[in-house]
Amino acid sequence: MDCYIVDFHAAELGVGAEVALEDSVMRKGLPAKAGSKILEGFIAPFDATVVTRLLDSKYNIAGRIGMNEFGLPSLISAGTNDIYDAVKAVSAGVVSYALCNDVFGVYRRRAAEEGICYLHPTYGTVSRYGLVPMACSMDQIGVACKNPDDCFGLLSVIAGNDPKDGTMYPEKSYVYSKTGKELRIGVPAAVLNQADEGTKESIRRFAAGFTSTDMELKYFDVYKQVLYILTCAEASSNLTRYDGIKFGYRASNYKNLNELYTRTRTEALGVEAKLAAIMGFMVLSQENYIPYYEKAMKIRRLIKESLRFGEYDIIVLPTKISDDSYENLSLFALAPLAGLPSLSFSFKGCGIQLVADAKNENALLTAWEGVKNEI
Amino acid sequence: MRYETVMGLEVHVELATESKLFCGCSAKFGADENENVCPACAGMPGMPAVTNKKAVELGIAAAIVTNSEITRTITFDKKSYFYPDLPTGYQITQWFAPICKNGWVEVETTAGKKKINLKQIHIEEDAGKLIHEGYDTSLVDFNRTSVPLVEIVSMPDFRTAEEVVAYLEKLRSLLTFAGVSDCKMQEGSMRCDVNISVREAGSDKLGTRTEIKNMNSLKAISAAIAYESKRHIDALEIGDEVLIQETRGWNDSIGKTFSMREKETAADYRYFPNPELMPIYISDEWIDKIRVNLPEPAVEKYVRLTGELGLPEFDSGIITGSKTLSDIFDDVTKHFNKPKEAANWIITELLGIAKGSNKGEDDIQIDCVKFAKLMELVDNKTINRTIGKKLLGMVLEEGIDPAVYVAKNNLGMIADTGVINEAIRIILADNQKSVDEYKKGNQKVFDFFVGAIMRKLGGKADPKVVNELLIRQLK
């Protein structure tokens, strides 16, 4: 059996429920490479807030687990190279839980495919302190585990305001429980039509368990562009700190400062990180700022404003509409762009994904409770 | 031909916060290299930036005292460039929505009063400091990284160095009295870049502009402006040098500016709003709360000192010319309610001692309770003034408690006229020749007698009493 865990934190193994940390969630004293050679040799100087809270609640940190470089999806290599060891480790029973950062949907998709689940919480409910940043306005630590009930249990341990992260809601803690209210499921027919027959069928059967309503996801056709432009802009800015000067990897041959910068990055950044950096620099450059970055920000706001939570409590989406990773990004863009919680799992053999209004994780839990006996 | 110098100023002022702008590290000056540094200061990943509320409040205070229009929703934005003193590869500044715009400051020069218009003030973080060692080694100190600053950008309203100096002094007064900054040029908490160009008088076209940096005193600024404007005029007049738009440094020891770098084809800083710093809304209530809590500005204090407290204009001018002296005056008069006497002590004695030890007035740190007690001891004739002056030095340097010290060293004033008369008798008897000279009309020996008698009495008598008794014995 593959072990998946990069380096066990041996002293903490052996008792209690074990939690693996994606390589971007910092455990003091362990490397935190975010899957990148450029962070080679960097040792986390402090614990992420989620880690502190887990340890305070007597959870054990099993160790660090491999990931896509900075969580960026494999677009150039068409998805075949995605590293989602966190999902594999949970699925294989190596650990009970894995904490990850899933902006692009790599974990939300693969969890459903591998028969486990992934809970991406509302932006601003879980502290980003101690998370290697990729796109700060969308980064959000979530939970992979076998059972959604357990996901919510672990989320209640790690969620709650942390003054060290300025983007959080004020609530100090959250209690997740089933609501008595009848759920209304919003079904975006136009999106569903792009999925294969099996997925369509399982989503229809899922919706049949509740009151459901047809709805339109406005701007869905540009979700992926907006997500990719904004994440590249933010990621490019978060990558500039890796310059070989202070920590992490440094090229061994250089004659001057510029060569030190260039060679370090040439040698240590992977192809997707380079692409994101170049894309980000491009959309933030003076001539492209308004037509790309600012426009994407405007559409992001329109996307948020176009949602009609109230007419429905949950939007149900497939986890795959295409073999092309870039096309599939659209399915996972809504949660990070609008800061919404999302739960994905396998239903009737197909991956489905539920998105609820901000801080309404309870609707996700209620929906799960409603169907968990017939998955 | 007559020429006119046109200047605009960019003044950087460090905000007087305890901690840095986006992390909890100390912002204090003078720590050891890389002492005030956390993982965020070193550019390490994992620590989200969190805005220091106090820095925003000081920014609002700066806006209020410069009559500026406060922006209601401000942003913090990233300015990206690569340099080793910038650990994250971006500086967090205010590009899209600075704290305020369109302010003005009135300055007074020999030519009269003039309004200097301000384009804007923005809050931003400072960069680290590079220390170059030898040919191929540079060290970097991140203590200054993320120390909060405001940059005050003026319109090109300056025509003379005198106006520039008057403006900087006015800014210093406004900002120190409002508690925004300590504005110490020597320590770099106030820095000034001068954009300068020269044109024919009367022309409305601006000449080629250069930017002068690295001046760390008002004197250096005046000298640099004089040098640079002459260089520009010579270039126009004689034509031996072609002016280019560039940044020039000031070398104080040779009194010249030198080319640092030519203005590159406008660098692309990829400005964008920092995605993890939410826009901040500044409400009327917040502004009003800061406004009513602003300390008394120098101008108002001057009026109070000369009016209500009846101090001479000269004294009031010196005390309100420095935030430090002004605070000392306020503190000591709380415990010693004789403002005129306190002003004398501060201006003559305290400043005298500071100057003697080469300290600027803003470097003076004194325990004002002890200072007040000392003045009280002299005022109620427990000790004489000469001993009081000596003790002031010890209060300042060693922090002694004057009352305890006087008692312990038996420095109390000798009030017993019998003792004083006896000392006078001995001195006169020992110096019969001088007594004869005095009687012939030589007044000078009188001071010699007083000195000798005071020494005999260990300096502890009241010189006034000694004078009176001495005159009586000499008759």
Q: Convert the pLDDT of each residue in B107-166 to its tens digit.
A: 999 999 999 999 999 999 999 999 988 777 889 999 999 999 999 999 999 999 999 999
Q: Which pLDDT band holds residue A202 (cuts at 50, 70, 90)?
A: very high
B56 and B159 part of one domain: yes
B402 and B255 part of one domain: no
- State how far the Cα of A23 lies from the Cα of B365, in Å rounded to an integer: 51
The answer to the question of residue B244 being in a domain is yes
B201 and B59 part of one domain: yes
The answer to the question of residue A276 being in a domain is no
Question: Between chains, do A164 and B80 touch, taking CB under 8 Å as contact?
Answer: no
> Domain total for chain B?
3
B224 and B366 part of one domain: no
What is the model's pLDDT at position B443? Answer: 80
Q: Where is average pLDDT lowest: A2-11, A107-116, A217-226, B58-67?
A: A2-11
The answer to the question of residue A122 being in a domain is yes
Q: Where is average pLDDT lowest: A231-245, A327-341, B1-15, B458-472?
A: B458-472
Average pLDDT, chain A: 92
Q: What residue of B is the nearest CA neighbor of A294? A: B272
The answer to the question of residue B10 being in a domain is yes
Where a domain ends, among B354, B388, B408? Answer: B408
Q: Residue A167 is nearest to which of B39, B88, B278, comparing CB atoms?
A: B278
The answer to the question of residue B286 being in a domain is no
Convert the pLDDT of each residue in A247-288 to its tens digit. Answer: 999 999 999 999 999 999 999 999 999 999 999 999 999 999
What is the model's pLDDT at position A13? Answer: 45
What is the model's pLDDT at position B296? Answer: 92
Q: Residue B48 is nearest to which of A129, A261, A289, comparing CB atoms?
A: A129
Q: Where is average pLDDT lowest: A25-39, B21-35, B292-306, B399-413?
A: B399-413
Question: DSSP for B170-183?
Answer: HHHHHHHHTTS---
- State how far the Cα of B280 lies from the Cα of B73, in Å rounded to an integer: 5
The answer to the question of residue B288 being in a domain is no
- State how far the Cα of B224 lies from the Cα of A168, in Å rounded to an integer: 49
Is the pLDDT confidence value at A218 over 90? Answer: yes
- Check if the beta carbon of residue A331 is closer than 8 Å to that of residue A105: yes
Q: Where is average pLDDT lowest: A195-199, B344-348, B371-375, B447-451?
A: B447-451
B56 and B174 part of one domain: yes
What is the model's pLDDT at position A17? Answer: 66
Provide, as residue numbers in chain B, all residues whose Cβ is less than 8 Å from the Cβ of A27: none
Question: Between chains, do A243 and B268 touch, taking CB under 8 Å as contact?
Answer: no
Where a domain ends, among B381, B408, B435? Answer: B408
Domain that residue A312 falls in:
10-219+305-371
At residue B157, the 3 state secondary structure works out as coil
Quote the radius of gyration of chain A (alpha carbons, Å): 20
A6 against A81, higher pLDDT: A81
Where a domain ends, among B387, B408, B429? Answer: B408
What is the model's pLDDT at position B369? Answer: 93
Residue B114 makes CB contacts below 8 A (sequence gap 6+) with B106, B107, B108, B157, B163
Question: Between chains, do A164 and B50 touch, taking CB under 8 Å as contact?
Answer: yes
Q: Which pLDDT band holds residue B410 (cuts at 50, 70, 90)?
A: confident
B209 and B322 part of one domain: no
Question: Between chains, do A247 and B47 touch, taking CB under 8 Å as contact?
Answer: no
Q: Where is average pLDDT lowest: A40-54, A81-95, A206-220?
A: A81-95
Q: Which pLDDT band holds residue B411 (cuts at 50, 70, 90)?
A: confident
In the 3-class helix/strand/coil scheme, how is A321-358 assigned residue by residue?
CCCCHHHHHHHHHHHHHHCCCEEEEEECCEEEEEEECC
Is the pLDDT confidence value at B340 over 80? Answer: yes
CATH of the domain at B461: 1.10.10.410
Question: DSSP for B78-138?
Answer: EEE---TT-TTSEEEE-SSS-SEEEEEEEEEETTEEEEEEEEEEEEEE---EEEEETTTEE
The DSSP symbol for A19 reads: E
B439 and B460 part of one domain: yes
The answer to the question of residue B318 being in a domain is yes
The answer to the question of residue B200 being in a domain is yes
The answer to the question of residue A34 being in a domain is yes
- State how far the Cα of A81 lies from the Cα of A79, in Å rounded to an integer: 5
The mean per-residue pLDDT over the stretch B274-298 comes to 96
- Check if the beta carbon of residue B38 is closer than 8 Å to that of residue B20: no
The listed range with the strongest mean pLDDT (A28-32, A298-302, B234-238) is A298-302
The mean per-residue pLDDT over the stretch B265-270 comes to 81
- Check if the beta carbon of residue B366 is closer than 8 Å to that of residue B329: no
What is the model's pLDDT at position B241? Answer: 82
Q: Residue A132 is nearest to which of B45, B51, B84, comparing CB atoms?
A: B45
Domain that residue B336 falls in:
296-408
- Check if the beta carbon of residue B274 is closer than 8 Å to that of residue A240: no
What is the model's pLDDT at position B165? Answer: 97
Residue B125 makes CB contacts below 8 A (sequence gap 6+) with B20, B21, B22, B91, B92, B93, B145, B146, B147, B148, B149
> Domain total for chain A?
1
**% of chain A at pLDDT higher than 70:** 94
Q: Where is average pLDDT lowest: A195-209, B335-349, B354-368?
A: B354-368
Is the pLDDT confidence value at A81 over 90? Answer: no
B429 and B404 part of one domain: no
The listed range with the strongest mean pLDDT (A343-347, B26-30, B377-381, B438-442) is A343-347
Half-sphere exposure of A17 (CA within 13 A, CB side): 16
Q: Which pLDDT band holds residue B195 (cuts at 50, 70, 90)?
A: very high
Convert the pLDDT of each residue in B39-55 to its tens digit. Answer: 999 999 999 999 999 99
Is the pLDDT confidence value at B265 over 70? Answer: no
Q: Which pLDDT band holds residue A33 (cuts at 50, 70, 90)?
A: very high
The answer to the question of residue A14 being in a domain is yes
The answer to the question of residue B250 being in a domain is yes
**H-type alpha helices, B248-312:** 284-292, 298-306
Q: Which candidate, A305, A287, A282, A286, places its Cα nearest to that of A228?
A: A282
Residue A176, CA distances (Å) to A124, A292, A343 in order: 16, 39, 14
Provide, as residue numbers in chain B, all residues whose Cβ is less than 8 Å from the Cβ of A238: 45
B265 and B330 part of one domain: no
In this prediction the pTM is 0.89
Q: Where is average pLDDT lowest: B77-81, B97-101, B320-324, B413-417?
A: B413-417
B274 and B309 part of one domain: no
The answer to the question of residue B86 being in a domain is yes
The answer to the question of residue A208 being in a domain is yes
Question: Between chains, do A245 and B140 touch, taking CB under 8 Å as contact?
Answer: yes
Residue B89 makes CB contacts below 8 A (sequence gap 6+) with A237, A240, A241, A243, B43, B80, B81, B82
**% of chain B at pLDDT higher than 70:** 99
B276 and B366 part of one domain: no
B61 and B205 part of one domain: yes
What is the model's pLDDT at position A6? Answer: 62
CATH of the domain at A43: 3.90.1300.10
Q: Which pLDDT band holds residue B264 (cuts at 50, 70, 90)?
A: low
Dihedral sign from CA coordinates of A280, A284, A287, A291: positive
Question: Between chains, do B46 and A132 touch, taking CB under 8 Å as contact?
Answer: yes
H or E stretch covering A210: none
Query: How far does Cα A105 stand from its chain's mean position?
Result: 6
The mean per-residue pLDDT over the stretch A2-20 comes to 57
